[in-house]
């Protein structure tokens, strides 16, 4: 007899660990299967920090989910004592008509979110490390800041285990099929059955969700840590906001205060601009010319940041064509399978609320959260 569960969660990265927590908190029998070890650095949920913010330039439809995510950050912090969110404030900088500035303002206005508009002189006065051009402006949001991906994943795994979930690491799913009223899941070691399957595959979506009809593209991304010229003091979170900075050529760069002690400096990265890859062929080496290009770019907007290069690491985005998420019942298996994928480089701040949505979908088939934007059918190839 194969072991039976109410729900099997595939992938225990950002989204899957949150799903395992929310499902097990509702008293159902949960099995989580993960290809690698707990809190690993081979997918999309590592590197010490992720930006979080509410004045969402991508679309105002994300705002109610962010308001809920912020409540859940506090719940997770309280339940585990782990450091999850640091709300040090954030600036979205660029020309007034850039998406970063105008899109953020649109969400802030539509949802009545506290914010301030700063001109270049005011940006320089408040944040002396930032060096905007005279025609650049910023939306300042006090509630923006960062979340810590490794702590968040570890906290969700810890809570799921405490609530009785079985979490199996280094045990990838090899395949699954519909079985009776539910599903049957195979690994090299075992076969499991369940009423419901929740698939959170990150960059493995093109392999695990071929029948979803979504043309994902996986993108290599690099994170860079520099020791600022003159030391980290002006870069500490009490003095320094997170920033997303778009220039006139639509290049977006984003960075963080110094959060992990002077030896780790401060982190910065380009948003998008990466090379297409697969989880198998991604180039994990960061090359001199890439480091030089980042240092050059930063010497214009945050001139003290690129003092000494410290280290770099790679990570993967899983992009959909419109860069909006996919969160839904699987259209080909609507009775028993739920999917969460295609987070397109901006999903981490939503991790706890996505966990809640996935538990709703798996257990009731629906959710009160607004997820209309994330329907995979919007992206399915048109029939020939």
Q: Which is nearer to ligand FAD, 96 or 172 (CB)?
A: 172
Whether 32 has a binding-site annotation, put simply, is yes
Region from 28-36, 74-82, 134-142, 293-301 binding ligand FAD, contact rule CB under 6 A? 28-36
Minimal distance, residue 176 CB to ligand FAD, in Å: 10
Region from 21-29, 43-51, 230-238, 290-298 binding ligand FAD, contact rule CB under 6 A? 43-51
Residue nearest to ligand FAD (CB): 13
Whether 23 has a binding-site annotation, put simply, is yes
Which tokens go with 373? 């934007």
Say whether 26 sits in a helix, a strand or coil: coil
Residue (of 66, 80, 362) closest to 197 by Cα position: 362
Binding-site string for ligand FAD from residue 187 to residue 226, where x marks contact by CB under 6 A and - marks none: -------------xxxxx---x------------x-x---
Q: How far apart are CA 81 and CA 265, in angstroms?
A: 25
User: How many residues of this chain bind ligand FAD (CB under 6 A)?
Assistant: 37
Q: 133 phi and psi, to 5 degrees? A: -70, 160
Whether 22 has a binding-site annotation, put simply, is yes
Quick check: 265 binds ligand FAD (CB under 6 A)? no
Those residues with Cβ within 8 angstroms of residue 93's Cβ, 6 or more apart along the chain or in another chain: 100, 101, 123, 130, 132, 136, 137, 138, 243, 244, 245, 246, 301
Q: Which is nearer to ligand FAD, 121 or 277 (CB)?
A: 277
Q: How far apart are CA 258 and CA 253, in angstroms?
A: 16
Quick check: 317 binds ligand FAD (CB under 6 A)? yes
Q: How far apart are CA 247 and CA 28, in angstroms?
A: 49
Quick check: 9 binds ligand FAD (CB under 6 A)? no
Q: How far apart are CA 32 and CA 226, in angstroms?
A: 37
Sign of CA dihedral 266, 42, 348, 48: negative
Residue (of 97, 211, 76, 94) closest to 147 by Cα position: 76
Quick check: 315 binds ligand FAD (CB under 6 A)? yes
How do strand 116-118 and strand 30-33 relate by DSSP bridges? Answer: unpaired
Residue (of 104, 47, 111) closest to 243 by Cα position: 104
Residues of this chain, 269-288, that bind ligand FAD according to CB under 6 A: 269
Quick check: 51 binds ligand FAD (CB under 6 A)? yes
For residue 151, the cross-strand partners are: none
Residue (of 191, 173, 194, 174) closest to 182 by Cα position: 194
Quick check: 11 binds ligand FAD (CB under 6 A)? yes
Q: How far apart are CA 380 and CA 329, in angstroms?
A: 14
Residue (of 176, 105, 129, 106) closest to 305 by Cα position: 129
Q: Which of 10, 113, 337, 358 binds ligand FAD (CB under 6 A)?
A: 10
Minimal distance, residue 312 CB to ligand FAD, in Å: 10
Minimal distance, residue 32 CB to ligand FAD, in Å: 9
Q: Which of 90, 132, 255, 345 binds ligand FAD (CB under 6 A)?
A: 345
Binding-site string for ligand FAD from residue 93 to residue 132, where x marks contact by CB under 6 A and - marks none: ----------------------------------------
Q: Which of 15, 20, 76, 268 binds ligand FAD (CB under 6 A)?
A: 15
What's the chain's Rg over C-alpha atoms? 21
Quick check: 16 binds ligand FAD (CB under 6 A)? yes
Q: Which of 30, 157, 316, 339 binds ligand FAD (CB under 6 A)?
A: 316
Binding-site string for ligand FAD from residue 156 to residue 175, where x marks contact by CB under 6 A and - marks none: ----------------xx--
Minimal distance, residue 45 CB to ligand FAD, in Å: 3
Count CB-CB contacts under 10 A for residue 174.
11
Q: Residues in the site for ligand FAD, rule: CB under 6 A?
A: 10-16, 33-36, 43-45, 47, 50-51, 172-173, 200-204, 208, 221, 223, 269, 315-317, 343, 345-349
Which residues are part of a known binding site for FAD? 6-36
């Amino acid at each position: 007899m194969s072991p039976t569960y109410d729900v099997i969660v595939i992938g225990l990265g950002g989204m899957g660990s949150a799903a395992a927590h929310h499902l097990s908190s509702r008293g159902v029998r949960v099995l989580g299967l993960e290809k690698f070890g707990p809190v690993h650095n081979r997918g999309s949920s590592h590197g010490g920090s992720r930006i979080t913010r509410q004045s969402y330039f991508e679309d105002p439809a994300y705002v109610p989910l962010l308001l809920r995510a912020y409540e859940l950050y506090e719940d997770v912090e309280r339940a585990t004592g782990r450091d999850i969110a640091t709300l040090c404030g954030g600036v979205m900088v660029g020309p007034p008509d850039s998406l970063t500035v105008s899109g953020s303002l649109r969400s802030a206005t539509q949802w009545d979110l506290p914010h301030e508009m700063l001109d270049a002189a005011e940006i320089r006065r408040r944040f002396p490390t930032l060096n905007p051009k005279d025609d650049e402006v910023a939306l300042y949001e006090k509630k923006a800041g960062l979340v810590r991906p490794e702590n968040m994943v570890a906290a969700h795994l810890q809570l799921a285990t405490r609530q009785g979930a079985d979490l199996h690491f280094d045990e990838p799913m090899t395949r699954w099929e519909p079985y009776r009223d539910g599903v049957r899941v195979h690994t090299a070691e075992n076969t499991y059955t369940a009423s419901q399957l929740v698939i959170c595959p990150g960059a493995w979506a093109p392999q695990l969700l071929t029948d979803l009809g979504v043309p994902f593209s996986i993108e290599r991304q690099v994170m860079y840590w520099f020791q600022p010229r003159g030391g980290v003091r002006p870069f500490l979170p009490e003095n320094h906001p997170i920033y997303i900075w778009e220039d006139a050529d639509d290049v977006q760069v984003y960075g963080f205060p110094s959060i992990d002690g002077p030896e780790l400096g401060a982190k910065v990265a380009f948003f998008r601009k990466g090379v297409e890859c697969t989880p198998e062929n991604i180039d994990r080496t960061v090359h001199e010319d890439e480091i030089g290009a980042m240092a050059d770019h930063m010497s214009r907007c945050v001139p003290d940041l690129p003092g000494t290069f410290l280290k770099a690491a790679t990570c993967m985005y899983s992009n959909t064509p419109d860069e909006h998420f996919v969160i839904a019942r699987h259209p080909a298996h609507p009775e028993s399978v739920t999917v969460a994928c295609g987070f397109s480089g901006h999903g981490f701040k939503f991790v706890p609320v996505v966990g809640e949505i996935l538990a709703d979908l798996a257990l009731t088939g629906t959710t009160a959260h607004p997820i209309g934007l994330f329907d995979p059918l919007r992206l399915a190839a048109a029939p020939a």
